[in-house]
Amino acid sequence: MQLGLIGLGKMGGNMRERIRRAGHTVIGYDRNPDVSDVKSLAELVEKLDAPRQVWVMVPAGTATQTVVDELGDLLEPGDTVIDGGNSRWTDDEKHAAALAIKGIGFVDAGVSGGVWGLQNGYALMVGGDKEHVDRLQPIFEALKPEGPYGYVHAGRVGAGHFSKMVHNGIEYAMMQAYAEGWELLEKVHSVENVREVFRSWQEGTVIRSWLLDLAVNALDEDEHLEQLRGYAEDSGEGRWTVEAAIDNAVPLPAITASLFARFASRQDDSPQMKMIAALRNQFGGHAVEKKD
């Protein structure tokens, strides 16, 4: 199967490689000519056979809007655009409506896997009409982890990104719990080996998880996280999750508190935020702020 892929950064580049390893043809475009297969979006579209499938993997907001608008002018009826970035679900609805006027399909795909996706596969939460989703099934199969799990057609347009948004909200709360526990263990004098306490939890406990494994990785690299500033960004989905909870009158005290904790990290050198920053760097390659 052929696929056009726009955006070859940390995730997009690895996704291109994983899809190619599954035997599919991927033509990638990126503003960085060193990693791009073509020189322009127009050339990418020209090299694809109809009906075309073009996956957009660029930052949410203006960047995605610009690419979708340009694709709307370049593609033809019967083609399909997939937005695999972290767009807000309300943007998906607008994009789908605008492209539908031109006979172009639209699918939104929430993608989780970070810098480990090439090796482990990507969890995919997909939204869109069944006819468009079914056509893309070979690509989804190539990207997902091996086995029966890791992929879902979550519902209509917007459902994929809404599901990924909630996923990231849960992620916020889980990381915050690990960070709070780590700070408390570091604070008391009786616990002399906090890193090994975390390591001991990796087997046989109810709180074992991949995030816990990554926390141990981070502590192996910097046992007391002394090289990090206690500062953690929020990527947008946490805010959107809280806003959606307000709109739907759903109480989310843990997720909301974890978002506010990140805001607090911008006021001082928070020990908890050192762990949050370390975890975000471990699973997603997100930048961390080092101490001077």
Task: Give the containing element (helix H, strand E) for 105.
Answer: strand 105-112
Calpha distance 137→24 (Å, rounded): 12
Tokens of residue 288, six digits: 């961390």
The strands making up 105-112's β-sheet, listed across from edge to edge, are 25-29, 2-6, 53-56, 80-83, 105-112, 123-127, 151-155
Beta bridge partners of 228: 290
Rg (CA), the chain: 20
> Catalytic pick from 144, 171, 183, 274?
171
d(CA 125, CA 113): 12
Catalytic residue chosen out of the listed positions 17, 46, 164, 180: 164
Q: Is 171 a catalytic residue?
A: yes
Concatenated DSSP letters for 133-146?
Answer: HHHTHHHHHHHSPS
289 is catalytic: no
Structure tokens that stand for 290 in this block: 């080092």
Task: Please name the residue ranges forming H helices in 75-209.
Answer: 89-100, 117-120, 130-135, 137-143, 159-187, 194-200
Quote the crossing angle between the two packed helices 159-187 and 210-221, to the nearest 10°: 50
Q: Report, as residue numbers or ranges, the catalytic residues.
A: 164, 171
